[in-house]
Structure 1
Amino acid sequence: MFRIGPYSINSKVILAPMAGITDRPFRQLCRRLGAGMTVSEMVISDTTFWKTRKSAYRLDHTGEITPRSVQIAGADPVMMAEAARMNAARGAQIIDINMGCPAKKVCNRAAGSALMREPELVKEILEAVVKAVDLPVTLKMRTGWCHDSRNAVELARMAQAIGIQALAVHGRTRADGYRGDAEYDTIMRIRDVIEIPLFANGDINSPKKAKQVLDETGADAVMIGRAAQGRPWLFREINHYLQTEQILPSASLNEISQIMQQHLQELHLFYGELLGVKISRKHIGWYMQHFEQGQAFRKHFNTIESAELQSSALAEFLATQCRTAA
């Protein structure tokens, strides 16, 4: 479909990086269900923090399918360059720079979307990272810091000139957060000034919406974030619609049950029992939107403190739901 450096991406649907969500088990699940590429959770550029348990999980890419894209965040060009080099040494195949995160704890450090207020610093960071590694470097950003400061078109042109090899744009300013409708017209204007692959992000939650956004913006792919939570088969549905313009039948309860149980098992294996039990609660909670009794079960599931009991409770709930639907 398109290329990022030496890598051919055969799907127009990409999983967006989301802190605390796009861990290795979720990335691998989304790839199996049709995502052409996934991007890791944001990794802080200050490598002195990489010895923490959280960073250890975020830096683990064992067994992942090519290409392995790792997102780094920071505001210091030297630190960002070093983070890129160290991630390359750990198996990253694409380095993605975070210039889109709206979280206060990130922006307060002048990183994430806060960088959009400082084009000269952005230039220094992009140049430093591109020079630091022999890997493709990509960039994710928003349309600007606020409505009176939309500078994404200018930054996109600069990024391409420096050597950024793909660009993802969330169609909102930092001030918008996740409120209001995504502004696809800005993404369309970016398409007019760059030739590198462009990914449209924001409010894409159905196959028809994905096609509409691709047609409207001229982007090479859509990037899916929140809509994939509890619905990772959305990638498959979008791929099918883009290829055939036919709506793929919804995943059956039996298939959803299998996906959920496998996902739970992989979370337990990846994080271990103590952390796996805690992290699985949010993922299983998102899946519960598909079940009439989902919210009641979610409350019960969140009280369970062991991996074995979580697995057995989920299996029992899903078996009951499938029998009822039969």
Structure 2
Amino acid sequence: MSVKIGEHIDLGEFPLLLAPMEDVSDPPFRYVCKQNGVDMMYTEFISSEGLIRDAAKSRQKLDIFEYERPIGIQIFGSDIEHMRQSAEICTQANPNLIDINYGCPVKNVACRGAGASLLQDIDKMVAMTKAVVDATHLPVTVKTRLGWDDSTKNVYEVAERLQDIGIKALAIHGRTRAQMYKGQADWSMIRDVKQNPRIKIPIFGNGDVDSVEKAAAWRQEYQVDGIMIGRASIGYPWIFREIKHFFQTGERLEGPTIAERVDVCRTHLTKSIEWKGDKTGIFEMRRHYANYFKGIPNFKEYRMKLVELQDVNHIIEVLEDIRHNFAEEVA
């Protein structure tokens, strides 16, 4: 059975989704994930206030490309009318869907009444979601958490009420807001939402999937419609390829070689510069190098060079040195 969002988005039998991550899931990063088999992606989350004020940074995040489809634009905010206006702006950018963030736990979002903060006011969450649904012809989906804290785990109510007003899929991160990213994600409540006979929309599980084995085990154990992967894909977009291969064959795919790591890192760098310009593209790429070459012994010297250099040709020279000098290492 294919998993469908609305009438037109067919994600295949068990889709793998790239979680929207601030300062990470921009077009350059999405490009390398798409090349490695991810089934659906989202933009970084975009402030509704930024969109309606026409802030350059927010507007730039609306950039999407044909090869990325299906792709969703994710928005967040605390004002219902501003979220409605944002949905109209996003619709003009022509994504495949609009996603609302009710999960972000960080202070400058949640403490301003947006993101996971709405888990403290389900009536407002419902009203906000309905305003977005009514403002666009596109499918609307939601990403949220189990609840605000251990004493208010209300995701069952959230799922039913949001489905009732027209959302087409729900992604659930298996932690409360109070947990942030600490402790273990609890997928048992995600399974309970999925097994609720009232729930007809796809339910995607998110949180702590960082290996082929975990993806396979949790697919069986928690019976979700698909898995959303975030942090484990940073510097390791091959995770999508490896999980898919395991699902199809039951066998583990070899990890990427040093040459592959260098190639994908170079592609990411090139795309970053194309999209953001030399200065910003090089600067923002610095956060990724350590992840691309994680686990390689005696790498510190190269990492220091990569994060200090400001000329793309010099960075590429270092990357080619890595290809040459670590070719014999086991990746």
- Give me the TM-score of the superposition, normalised by structure 1: 0.96
Q: Does structure 2 conserve the Cα–Cα contact (< 8 Å) formed by 1:261 and 1:315?
A: no
**Separation in 1, partners of 2:329, 2:162:** 54
Q: Does structure 1 conserve the Cα–Cα contact (< 8 Å) formed by 2:15 and 2:225?
A: yes
- Report what 2:286 is aligned to: 281
Bigger shift: 257-266 or 159-168? 257-266
Q: Does structure 1 conserve the Cα–Cα contact (< 8 Å) formed by 2:3 and 2:10?
A: yes
**Which of 214, 232, 235 does residue 227 from structure 1 map onto?**
232
Name structure 1 gaps, 5 residues minimum.
Answer: none
Identity across the alignment (%): 34
Output one character per residue of 1:15-62: Cα deviation in whole Å (capped at 9) or x when no partner. Answer: 00000000011112111101000111000011244332x224311113
Supply the AA of the counterpart residue of 2:116.
S
What is the CA-CA distance between 1:214 and the residue it aligns to? 1.6
**Separation in 2, partners of 1:176, 1:208:** 25
- Report what 1:51 is aligned to: 55
Correspondence 1:63-212 to 2 at 5 A: 63-193=66-196, 194-212=199-217
Output one character per residue of 1:183-212: Cα deviation in whole Å (capped at 9) or x when no partner. Answer: 111101111221211110000001110122
Name structure 2 gaps, 5 residues minimum.
Answer: none
**Separation in 1, partners of 2:189, 2:147:** 10
**Separation in 2, partners of 1:237, 1:255:** 14
Secondary structure at the counterpart of residue 184 of structure 2: coil
Secondary structure at the counterpart of residue 101 of structure 2: strand
Q: 1:321–1:164: structure 2 CA closer, same or farther, 3 Å change rule?
A: same
What is the CA-CA distance between 1:311 and the residue it aligns to? 2.0
User: How many pairs does the alignment contain?
Assistant: 325
Bigger shift: 252-261 or 184-193? 252-261
- Report what 1:3 is aligned to: 4
Q: 1:150–1:309: structure 2 CA closer, same or farther, 3 Å change rule?
A: same
Bigger shift: 241-250 or 80-89? 241-250
- Report what 1:27 is aligned to: 30
RMSD (CA atoms): 1.5
Output one character per residue of 1:91-130: Cα deviation in whole Å (capped at 9) or x when no partner. Answer: 2220000000011000121100011000010010111011
Q: Are 2:215 and 1:214 aligned? A: no
Bigger shift: 246-255 or 85-94? 246-255
- Give me the TM-score of the superposition, normalised by structure 2: 0.94
Output one character per residue of 1:217-252: Cα deviation in whole Å (capped at 9) or x when no partner. Answer: 211101000000111010011111122221112122
- Report what 1:312 is aligned to: 317
Q: Does structure 2 conserve the Cα–Cα contact (< 8 Å) formed by 1:276 and 1:307?
A: no
What is the CA-CA distance between 1:325 and the residue it aligns to? 6.2
Supply the AA of the counterpart residue of 1:271.
K
Secondary structure at the counterpart of residue 294 of structure 2: helix
What is the CA-CA distance between 1:147 and the residue it aligns to? 0.5
